[in-house]
Amino acid sequence: MSVMENILREGSAKTPAVNFDSASGVLELKGRSIPENSVEFYKPLNDWIDNYGVNPKDKTIVDIKLEYFNTSSSKCILDLFKKLESLKTKGAEVLVNWYFEEDDEDMEEAGEDYQAIIKLPFKMIEVEEI
């Protein structure tokens, strides 16, 4: 089995930090996501999940630690979740941890929006600071 390359990217003023690790099965997005055109940013991430899905870990943990995201990102994030959802057909378990900051109802609701659409277990986790 060939080893997949991981994605490790630092966050910027408009894009989140990315840490997708195929060996541990932990995928993390952290920071803010407000690029003008999110497709460019998210396409490599979604492609990575396609490759990862060929031979996924038994358990995949998705940590979403976003401060906020724009509507251009929201569609891309949905696509990302859809790809993760499809891992289930391979018998893999996928768990989403949705982090949001204390009192941040907007981000809590955003997580619930995805939870309502995507058939994956979501755990809503309130933290003091992301």
| C-alpha pair distances (Å), 2 with each of 25, 44, 84, 93 | 15, 19, 21, 22
> How many helices and strands (H and E) does the chain possess?
3, 6
The CA-based dihedral angle spanning residues 20, 125, 66, 111, taken in that order and rounded to the nearest 10 degrees: 100
CB-nearer residue toward other proteins: 92 or 114: 114
Of positions 109, 119, 121, 125, contacts other proteins by CB under 8 A: 109
The angle at the Cα of 38, spanning 37 to 44, to the nearest 5 degrees, equals: 125
Stretch that binds other proteins, among 3-11, 45-53, 62-70, 85-93 (CB under 8 A): 62-70
In whole angstroms, give the CA distance from residue 39 to residue 75: 9
Give the number of residues in contact with other proteins, rule: CB under 8 A. Answer: 27
- Interface with other proteins includes 47 (CB under 8 A)? no
The verdict on 14 binding other proteins (CB under 8 A) reads yes
If one asks whether residue 85 binds other proteins (CB under 8 A), the answer comes out as no
116 near other proteins (CB under 8 A): yes
Which CB, 117 or 125, lies closer to other proteins? 117
